[in-house]
Structure 1
Amino acid sequence: MDLLQPLNLPPYPFRLNEEEGRLYIFDELRKKKLLLTPEEWVRQHFVQYLITEKGYPKMLIKLEGGLRVNHMPRRTDIVIHNRNGEKILLVECKAPGVTITQKVFDQVARYNTVHQVPLMAVSNGLQHYYCKINVSSKTYTFIEDLPAYQATV
């Protein structure tokens, strides 16, 4: 699969470089270069989409944070906080070749038992799904579009 596959997200001028036959992308938030995988390509695009199109502040975005689910270590792709430090959005990114199935939603729902966020997004870069979460009733409702940051505060 082409690592630089066009996605259903706006293009961004990423800093890419090749070393010893491997392609790297510079992560602006973590301030380091990362091996470019199809999933990382989606994650970096989605982060830029959140910042530039939806107005989510860079300083409130946490990438690949650790958590424990059923005593097992896991990593969430993107978690966004509000200015009070409360988690407001959980994003799960998959490679473009990965079909978004119920299994993927179940994975994110398990993560959300820890995070307890009111908004969730799942994307493979080609398809994006957004949900409002009712944490107390453990239900979710699909929504058409992800709200801008200002609408969440």
Structure 2
Amino acid sequence: MKEVKIESTLYVFESIGELPKEAAFLMQKAFEARDKAYAPYSNFNVGTAILLDNGEIITGNNQENASYPSGLCAERTAIYYAGSQYPDAKVVRMAISATSKNKPTLNPIPPCGACRQAIAEYEIKQESPIEIYFMGETGKVAKSTSLANLLPLVFDKSVL
């Protein structure tokens, strides 16, 4: 048996005020999307904003329904829309913010596993990393320079 160590690197900012200007602007767009989320069952609103290489900004938020878990997360709502409307554009950067009506969200909240896999598909397709910023409602912001930091053992077409 051989032990294999996998490491990920994240950068943590104390607040949105420390972010580069472009990332802070994108996070504000994620806040706006988050505030429009439809989450009557979980009371957990998530918003995402995506910057494409053509300059377009796409936003998405989580959409729930009574047939839980048939809804869709904010990250997949946004990235699938970007893929359907701008199939040749590359995703440069994503900003994600989540808040709960049940308790404060003060720590960075990363994408769920299903969203990580969806984002990985686009990162692999475009053959370039996607910069991802994520946070709760307020507080610290985490930055990953690539989805590979959040999903190091990615399942991709090479195994099919």
Normalising by the residue count of structure 2, what TM-score does the alignment of the two structures yield? 0.37
Between structures 1 and 2, the one with greater helix share:
2
More strand by share: 1
Higher relative contact order (CA 8 A, sep 6+): 2
